[in-house]
Amino acid sequence: MPRVAAIDCGTNSIRLLVADVTEREDGTSWLRDVHREQRVVRLGQGVDATGRLNPEALERTRVALVDYTAILRRKGAESVRMVATSATRDAVNRDDFFDMTEAVLGVPAEVISGDEEATLSFTGAVGDLDPSAGPFLVVDVGGGSTELVLGTWDGVRATPKAARSTDIGCVRITERCLRSDPPTADEIAAADRLAEQVLAEAFEVVPVAEARTWIGVAGTATTLGGIALELPEYDSDAIHLSRVPKERIGELSRLLLGMDHDARAAMPVIHPGRVDVIGGGALIFEVLARHLPGIAELTISEHDILDGIALSQL
């Protein structure tokens, strides 16, 4: 039973999973968590406007990675894979990031394509679901990109059918459109148009109308799940596999976009690093909901790309 470590460094957060992998006789595998952690470092701060990774953001990421490296070594991980996504794909000084990560971690981080990111997210997301509820549409609204992947799960193996990554996420849409606190009606309308325009590229490739179950993964989705449940604090066990009615997504989007920073910060479920961008993320989910007329609710999964990265090491 090998012990592996997975690190996902996105535009907004960096996350660690250390897990034991059990291989079944048919060659498939399942994970048992040893340690799972997330930190918001906002690596993509300003990269959409400048094309460069901010030195302060790089330092925040380095500090988190130093801690993660100590944890995975202490936990006895036999292998580690670190994946870097949207912010590093776009930055002209990305070598500064990769030199730093290899110096700290001892192995190079990998830049993966948006479509591979989507496939890894799908593989990690569907393992706890009833196969008969498929086909599944898994959506990851990250900081700089949004991944959509449609596929099936037979109880043993996940099979993605179509995937697409688009250049819109909670950080990117906030920095481009939602500059006021709270955003103005014109800014919200501009953000809505931008999301519609960019997501249209994904809808041309991913036949979302075939989906019977819609799954949201990663921080934007899980935060919305916690808000919908009105939790007094973030509780991953309560959030995992919870369901948010589709009409409630629009309500949450308007609620969050109507609040100023202090009002959002007072909501105990929202991580401090997500306070400024959760409204933009909620708006992207609201736009997605419009294009899924046959689906009544969003299922929230705490399992996502991290689980896929861990399994990919076998």
User: Which fold is adopted by the domain 127-305?
Assistant: Nucleotidyltransferase; domain 5 (3.30.420)
Q: Where in the chain is the domain with CATH 3.30.420.150?
A: 127-305
pLDDT at residue 262 greater than cutoff 90: yes
**Long-range contacts at 75-79 (CB < 8 A, ≥ 24 apart):** 75/3, 75/5, 75/18, 75/34, 75/35, 76/3, 77/3, 77/4, 77/5, 77/18, 78/2, 78/3, 78/4, 79/2, 79/4, 79/5, 79/313
Mean pLDDT of 55-81: 95
Higher-confidence residue of 142 and 214: namely 214
Q: How many CA atoms lie within 13 A of 124 on its CB side?
A: 31
The predicted-structure confidence for 5-22, as pLDDT tens digits, reads as follows 999 998 888 999 999 987
Q: Where in the chain is the domain with CATH 3.30.420.40?
A: 3-114
Phi, then psi, of 152 in degrees rounded to 5: -125, 165
Q: Can you read off the two tokens belonging to residue 168?
A: 């819109």
Mean pLDDT of 172-190: 94
Burial annotation 118-149 (CB, 10 A radius, 16+ → b, else e):
bbbbbbbbbbebeeeebbbbbbbbbbbbbbbb
Phi, then psi, of 189 in degrees rounded to 5: -65, -40
The predicted-structure confidence for 218-229, as pLDDT tens digits, reads as follows 889 999 999 999
Question: What global pTM score does this model have?
Answer: 0.78
Return the pLDDT at 311. Answer: 84
CA pair distance 233, 250, nearest whole angstrom: 22
Phi, then psi, of 2 in degrees rounded to 5: -65, 150
Mean pLDDT of 252-271: 94
CB 111: neighbour CB atoms within 10 A?
Answer: 17
Class of domain 3-114: alpha beta
The predicted-structure confidence for 110-135, as pLDDT tens digits, reads as follows 988 766 777 788 888 887 888 889 89
